Amino acid sequence: MPEPDSTRPSVARLGGWTRGWDPPRPGNDSGIASVAPFAESGPDDAGRRGGIGLNTAHCTIVVVDVEGFGLRSRTNPNKVRVRRGMYRALERAFVAAAIPWAACRHADLGDGVLVLAPARISKALFADLLLGPLADELAAHNGAHPSPERIRLRLALHAGEVSYDDHGVTGSSILHAQKLLDAPELKRALGGTTAPLAVIASDWLFDEVIRHSERSCADAYQPVGIARCGVAWIRLVSRRRDLRRRRRVG
């Protein structure tokens, strides 16, 4: 589904954060791996040859994006209510999945959110317990709001190393998750359904986490080929109460 005026530069999706972790520091005891800066590095190394120190951490990566956020039919008050509803749905779904929202780092993307969860939080919680409650929260929001304020989300799941600096976060793992989120295949999947949530999982996360869990609905994921990303796995998530009702009728 085309989304007029929703394009934004990728750099805006990497920097800054709203709340969550402090940037990891070399020598701390947080369990985050880090690399100390090279000796005698000055405040401005832009013109110098040589290495640069990195603060890195392995994270579960969740990126969400509101379908059609930039459509002309949405006024600015509509967009504010959509953002408010998106955050409320995410925070409540994290609580339902026993994932501590405050322990994660979250960067606002304007029409979505980047969430980085520390490695100590089980990845299985994201695959097993987060998605159903999130679909429920979105459906509840949509039932109480007019069409321009209803929310349908695309959500990408991945995990990998993330690098931190004074301006925010970056890393190939974040870029990979963002490419998955922007994949035309995911947009078409959500556009062809009434489900409030479309999920795309990286091949690594599916192979290492989702397919091994008896609660992840692994059979509901379908493999797709994504340009410059390889194989990924897409699942559409409907409201759980609706699913239960269909099972009873059937």
Q: According to DSSP H, which parts of 17-65 are helical?
A: none
pTM value is 0.78
The pLDDT assigned to 228 comes to 85
The pLDDT assigned to 248 comes to 41
Instruction: Kindly give the parts of the chain with pLDDT less than 50.
Output: 1-19, 23-43, 45-46, 242-250
The pLDDT assigned to 50 comes to 63
The pLDDT assigned to 241 comes to 59
Q: What is the residue whose two structure tokens read 């749905």?
A: 89
3-state class (DSSP) for residue 160 = strand
The pLDDT assigned to 32 comes to 36
The token pair at 224 is: 């797709």
| Number of C-beta neighbours around residue 29 at 10 A | 5
What is the fold, at CATH topology level, of the domain defined by 55-249?
A: Alpha-Beta Plaits (3.30.70)
Q: Where are the domains of the chain?
A: 55-249
The pLDDT assigned to 30 comes to 41
The pLDDT assigned to 199 comes to 98
